[in-house]
Structure 1
Amino acid sequence: MALTFEDTSRTARAGNRTIHYSEAGDPSAPAVVLLHGSGPGATGWSNFKANIDALAQHFHVIAPDMPGWGRSDAVTRSDMDHARSAVDLLDTLRIDRAAFVGNSMGGITTLRLATEFPERVSHVITMGPGSGSQPKLFSPAGGLSEGMKTLVAAYREPSVESMTRLTEVMTFDSARFATPELAAERAANATAHPVHLTNYLDGFAQGGPIAKWFRLEDLPKVQIPTLLIHGRDDRVVHYENTLLLLAHIPNSRAVLLNRCGHWAQVEHAEEFNRLVIDFISNN
């Protein structure tokens, strides 16, 4: 029987934050932490429910709602430090090291962990993170991508209609994956915690909701096995960001998926799960 949200739902005090997370698998198995993206209504469960069950057959899986999202504590831009919160959660759960799997914003946090807390990270896996403010060949000059414009609009008006547009731009095969059920779920998640919406938009007005990024110049020092996954059809973060990361991280390899948008773990769930299981088990 497939795992449900209720089966996996947990809450813990981590540092000075209360963090909600989904947990599955054998606690004695290698730990894998799944970090969600920054969209309105994003949670650990909503971003990774197509993956948790399969990964839990091999690993101790933890999918937190990061501070500022879901059922976890609210944070302002100046107080948000997801890398520190992730380490605090590991401490609370008495986990020394974990493989970190991060989508978009979660990938940015994963790369920060690799550069700032490498002793806590066994493997790095990212899907569609940005690479910072470096010049790029294909990205829009001086402006937001189509996907980011849609994401911010959904923060300002977190209706089912806005979430429908958001899920459509996040996926390549929107007829299959941008379902009415998903849009309704994301709208319900977002409107249940209006303070998260306000804090995100306030942070966006201050120069971006994520104040702390990794530094590109630190990545060549990273020796942690790294797998960079990206959709060729990503309309939120162009795949050239992953190519730039690949060029900077010595022990890395990249997988570029055709007919895939920003949510590789959703659109290509079976392949994604196989890639993650094989990479962590054999590196």
Structure 2
Amino acid sequence: MKHGRVTANGIDFSYVEEGEGPLALLLHGFPESGAATWRHLIPELAAAGYRAVAPNMRGFAPTALPADGRMLIADLVADANALHEELSGDGDAVIIGHDWGGGTTWGAAVAAPERWSKVIVSDVPPLQFFGGYAGTYEGIEALNHFWFFQMDMAGQILEADDMAYMFQLMQNRWTAPDYDATEDFLAARSALGDSERLRAALDLYRQNFGAKIMGTPEWQAEQGALWGPLPQQPTLYLHGTKDTSVVLDQAGLDAIGSLLSEGSRTAFIEGAGHLVPAEKPADYNARVLEFLKN
């Protein structure tokens, strides 16, 4: 894979890429990196005739920290569509997102539908489903890192002992029991291994789901406008059966599928936790490539 840099939406982005053809923009989540999350999919997309580009999101090294400190979903959506522009994407481009990159993908595909021909998201369902889940007993317990990350002491705890707590989260909470998250953790530690970077990453939660704003009418309107509407493009939604952060059953998956546009699909990835693209690459990649081909 080649390494590159590009300035988009005022941010100096670092990315890896492989292949030639229509742009496939790959957006990672927390606490990951583009190269690690998409290490299995990038060569497959390149072989299928795409230019696969996986940036590190704003604040995640070696991408620049935002000068104004903003880590809002609105900024991530603007980043994605600006990257399409700066990377010479056209109407055949596809956007693929996981976790925070998934929420960003929902928003970017709706904000600029002319830029993206197909949409692929894993592990974060549309807001109308995620928002309801986050307010249930099960959701509050499963997403307890949302609330822990609001605390001032969270940064100190996450930094201690070479980010040992972060490894425990990735190994014991966010991935399936039979998965070794070491490679993903090492990439996360490289991206967030200093206080400024870690603070920016935690600001994803603090600025978007802050204790004093989450659930207010203003917050609901803002989030609803960003990633409430569903894409009109054909969309593939994938979810791990062992995901203990966002727990989804067949009825929930069917409900999502019933609202997506014509030509869309949904599927479970058997045995995967929350880090689906890395945990079960054979199944995940096969479903992505089949969807893009058709």
Q: Which category describes the TM-score, using the shorter chain as reference length?
A: 0.7 to 0.9
Alpha-carbon separation, structure 1, partners of 2:95 and 2:133: 26
Deviates more, 1:259-268 or 1:132-141: 132-141
Is 1:165 the counterpart of 2:159 in the alignment? no
User: 2:109 matched to which residue of 1?
Assistant: 114
Query: 1:134 offset after TM fit, Å?
Result: 3.5
Is 1:249 the counterpart of 2:260 in the alignment? yes
* 1:168-191 CA distance string (max 9 Å, x none): 1221134x3223x44333223311
Tell me if structure 2 keeps the 8 A contact 1:107–1:128.
Answer: yes
Alpha-carbon separation, structure 2, partners of 1:129 and 1:43: 17
* 1:112-168 CA distance string (max 9 Å, x none): 012111111111111111433643499535735257369845784133422321221
Alpha-carbon separation, structure 1, partners of 2:134 and 2:148: 23
2:44 aligned to which of 47, 54, 70 = 54
Alpha-carbon separation, structure 2, partners of 1:57 and 1:206: 39
Count of residue pairs brought into register by the alignment: 267
Query: 1:223 offset after TM fit, Å?
Result: 2.4
Q: 1:156 to 1:249 in 2, by over 3 A?
A: farther
1:184 aligned to which of 172, 183, 186 = 186
Is 1:143 the counterpart of 2:154 in the alignment? no
Alpha-carbon separation, structure 2, partners of 1:151 and 1:171: 19
Gaps of 5+ in 2: none
Q: 1:214 to 1:64 in 2, by over 3 A?
A: farther
Is 1:218 the counterpart of 2:210 in the alignment? no
Q: 1:142 to 1:278 in 2, by over 3 A?
A: closer
Tell me if structure 1 keeps the 8 A contact 2:123–2:274.
Answer: yes
SS in 1 for 2:36: helix
Query: Equivalent residues in 2 for 1:35-114 (5 A)?
Result: 35-39=27-31, 42-58=32-48, 59-75=50-66, 76-77=69-70, 81-97=75-91, 98-114=93-109
Alpha-carbon separation, structure 1, partners of 2:157 and 2:110: 33
Tell me if structure 1 keeps the 8 A contact 2:95–2:118.
Answer: yes
SS in 2 for 1:261: coil
Query: Equivalent residues in 2 for 1:259-270 (5 A)?
Result: 259-270=271-282
User: 2:23 matched to which residue of 1?
Assistant: 31
Alpha-carbon separation, structure 2, partners of 1:90 and 1:185: 25
TM-score (norm 2): 0.79
User: 1:4 matched to which residue of 2?
Assistant: none
Deviates more, 1:100-109 or 1:153-162: 153-162
SS in 2 for 1:186: helix
